[in-house]
Structures are given as structure tokens and as C-alpha cells.
Amino acid sequence: MPTAAAPATRASADSSPSPAIEAVDLTKRYGDFTAVDGITFSVTRGEAFGLLGPNGAGKSTTMRMIAAVAARTSGQMNVAGLDPEVEGPRVRARLGVIPQQDNLDEELTVRENIIMYGRYFGLPRRYLLAKADELLDFAQLSHKASARVEDLSGGMKRRLTIARALVNEPEILLLDEPTTGLDPQARHVLWDRLFRLKESGTTLVLTTHHMDEAEQLCDRLVVVDHGTIMAEGSPAGLIREHSTREVLELRFGMDRNAELAEHLEKILGDDDAAGFSHIEVLPDRLLVYAGQAETALERIHAAGLKPMTSLVRRSSLEDVFLRLTGRSLID
Ligand SMILES: Nc1ncnc2c1ncn2[C@@H]1O[C@H](COP(=O)(O)OP(=O)(O)OP(=O)(O)O)[C@@H](O)[C@H]1O
Ligand SMILES: [Mg+2]
């Protein structure tokens, strides 16, 4: 059972070599449809671990199995040393869960939402009164403490859901698309808060479609698609392994992009200085993967080609996803 002394418990847990979460061949089927298809991963205590993938990849289904709210079809799972299917309540007591859809009690006030949630964990009222103030401050919602939830903006509801999930001082925090619906400033504040939680020893597991979020927050992540893991590593490691350092984005006009790709491959293929790797043809632009994108652009200009626009940028996890699946992360 969580208590106000949870951080001390966590410190002793840190010395244990057992992982925070371990999934082996985890599978979830809905009838004939396989939503999660035999995935294996392990999350170290204190780590920030991400599930990155497009709509329908199986991210939320995986999170629900970790959170002991969905049963697995097959495979093994261990969360904080326990099997969520056998010891659901004990697992839930050690988790903070931020579901994809906010499930706040709209009738209650902001403050009461936190207190009521804490009561489910059997936490004492005196502890909860102080904790609610601390969490409202954390979520920048102190000025809304007495407002009814139905009167909050979408982003405020999201922040309250996150604050509420921290009431039991969880050792593992599950965040399913935590920043969806937040404005850029609120996202940055939340990243900062999550970073602080991680520094204090909380294990973070998050899903996102936002590559910048994954790059900012995750020590390690898995790229998931159609219920399977396509790749695993640190954001920088994945980019190194599956992409070039830089990317040159070119637009020649809708009907000319594909036709020019082959031509560009010939121009750049013979040139070591640009560190050319390959080209991806998107409907609206060409992505030229090269270690030195400026040099590639110079060669293209020297060959007499004049793109309508050109942009040199660093490779991102989006490029990794495109390379692995041939599709874009966000449809
Ligand atoms: N209760 C259910 N019954 C039947 N199919 C389901 C159910 N829940 C999820 N699915 C299916 O499982 C697949 C994975 O869904 P899931 O919600 O895990 O995806 P996701 O990666 O979280 O996607 P998103 O980014 O859109 O949130 C989808 O094809 C979805 O339709
Ligand atoms: Mg989801």
C-alpha cells in the first residue's frame, strides 16, 4: 500500500536488480484480430521508456495490460515484481496511470478529484489534504482548486489527470499520450515536471506520436507498428543506426518529385563527400538522406537542378520510423 513514505521504499527498491517492468512474448487478441503480437521488452527502474508508433500500433493496449486493466491473451508480464493479472490491486497501488482519455469525475471539484482518487488507495485524509495542495501547485491548477472539472479547459483536465495519478507517489508512472491537447508552453512545463520525477527515481513509461517528446524524455524506446516491435534503442542510437546524420528536404513540384528521385540518386551516388545513403519519395517532397546535406545540395545545384524549396535538418525519429516501415508516423 502506498504511503507518504513511498520515496524511501523506492530508494531501497533501486538497489534491486529486478526490472520495473518485464514483458515476454506479450500478446493481446480481440477475436481474430491481434492488437499486440508477441512483444518482448524490459524497463529498468528509474528509466524513462517510450512506446512510439502510429495510430492503432497497440500502444494503449500494451499500457492497459501493464496497468492490470486488460488481460493478456498469452505471454508473461511482471510489473514491480508482480504479475498484474494475479495481483492487480497490489500492482495498481504502485502505479500512477494517465490513460489516453481523461476519466475525471466531472461533477466533483478539481481538489476533490485528487482526494477521492487517493481514498481509493486507502490513503489517510490528512495526508491527502496536504498532497492535493502540492499536486495542484505541481500542475499549475491551484487557482482552479474549487472549480468543477466540467468547467476546465481540455488542457487543464489533462494536467489534473496527471496530478491525480501522482497521489499515491507511484514508483512507476504510465503516461498514454500525456501531452495530447496541451499547448506548447504547457507541454514544456510537463516535460520539466516529468524530468524531475525521473530524477527522484520514478520510472516513466510513455506513449507518444511526438518525436520531439520521445527525444526529450525517453532514455530508451521501442518503435511499434501493427503490434510488433520494429526497433529498440536510445533516440540517438536509433537515429544513428537507421538514418543519416542529416536530411535534405526538397520540393520540385508534385508531379516532378518521383521522376527526379532517380536522377538525384545518380548524381549523389558517385559522390563520397556528401555521405549519401538513400532517398524517400513523399507525395509532396523528396527526403535525401546524407551525412552532409549541404554538400548534397551543392552537388544538386551544380548538376543544374533547381528545387523550389530546400531545407537541411538533422535526422529525427520520424526518419527512423519512415525507414523501418515506409510510412509516416503521423498519418
Ligand atoms: N476493445 C477492443 N476491441 C477490439 N479491438 C480493439 C480494442 N481495443 C483496441 N483494439 C484494436 O487494437 C488495435 C490497437 O489499439 P490501441 O488502442 O492499442 O492502439 P494505439 O497504438 O494506442 O493507437 P493510438 O495512437 O490511436 O492511440 C487497434 O486496431 C484497435 O482498433
Ligand atoms: Mg492509444
> 130-143 pLDDT, tens per residue?
999 999 999 999 99
| Statement: residue 1 has pLDDT above 50 | no
Q: What is the pLDDT of residues 89-101, one digit of tens each?
A: 999 999 999 999 9
- Cα 177 to ligand 2 centre (Å): 7
What local confidence, expressed as pLDDT, does residue 237 receive? 97
315 close to 248: Cβ distance less than 8 angstroms: no
Average confidence (pLDDT) over 104-133:
96
What local confidence, expressed as pLDDT, does residue 329 receive? 63
- Cα 220 to ligand 2 centre (Å): 19
> What does the CA dihedral 294, 296, 298, 300 come to, rounded to 10 degrees?
-140
Please name each of the domains of the chain with its CATH number. 6-234 (3.40.50.300), 244-314 (3.30.70.980)
pLDDT band at 330 (very low <50, low <70, confident <90, very high): low
Atom of ligand 1 nearest to the CA of 28: 12
Average confidence (pLDDT) over 45-54:
94
Long-range contacts at 10-18 (CB < 8 A, ≥ 24 apart): 10/171, 10/201, 10/202, 11/201, 13/45, 13/80, 13/171, 14/45, 14/46, 14/201, 16/45, 18/45, 18/78, 18/81
**Residue 61 Cβ contacting ligand 1 at under 6 Å:** yes
Mean pLDDT, the chain, integer? 91
Ligand of minimum distance to the alpha carbon of 66? 1
In the sheet that holds 48-52, the strands lie side by side as 95-98, 172-176, 203-208, 48-52, 220-225, 228-233
| Statement: residue 327 has pLDDT above 90 | no
**Residue 58 Cβ contacting ligand 1 at under 6 Å:** yes
**Residue 222 Cβ contacting ligand 1 at under 6 Å:** no
What local confidence, expressed as pLDDT, does residue 256 receive? 84
| Statement: residue 222 has pLDDT above 90 | yes
Average confidence (pLDDT) over 207-229:
92
What local confidence, expressed as pLDDT, does residue 93 receive? 93
| Statement: residue 12 has pLDDT above 50 | no
pLDDT band at 17 (very low <50, low <70, confident <90, very high): low
What local confidence, expressed as pLDDT, does residue 325 receive? 84
What local confidence, expressed as pLDDT, does residue 183 receive? 86
Helix H or strand E encompassing 152: none
Average confidence (pLDDT) over 60-64:
97
| Statement: residue 223 has pLDDT above 70 | yes
Q: Which residues surround ligand 2, an ion (CB under 5 A)?
A: 59-60, 100
| Statement: residue 50 has pLDDT above 90 | yes
What local confidence, expressed as pLDDT, does residue 258 receive? 81
| Cβ-based burial of 287 (10 A; exposed 0-12, middle 13-18, buried ≥19) | buried
Sequence-distant (6+) residues with CB within 8 A of 253 are: 308
Q: What is the pLDDT of residues 185-196, one digit of tens each?
A: 888 888 998 999
What local confidence, expressed as pLDDT, does residue 241 receive? 96
Instruction: Tell which one of 55, 61, 205, 226 to mutate to probe ligand 1, the residue whose CB is within 8 A of the most ligand atoms.
Output: 61
**Residue 53 Cβ contacting ligand 1 at under 6 Å:** yes
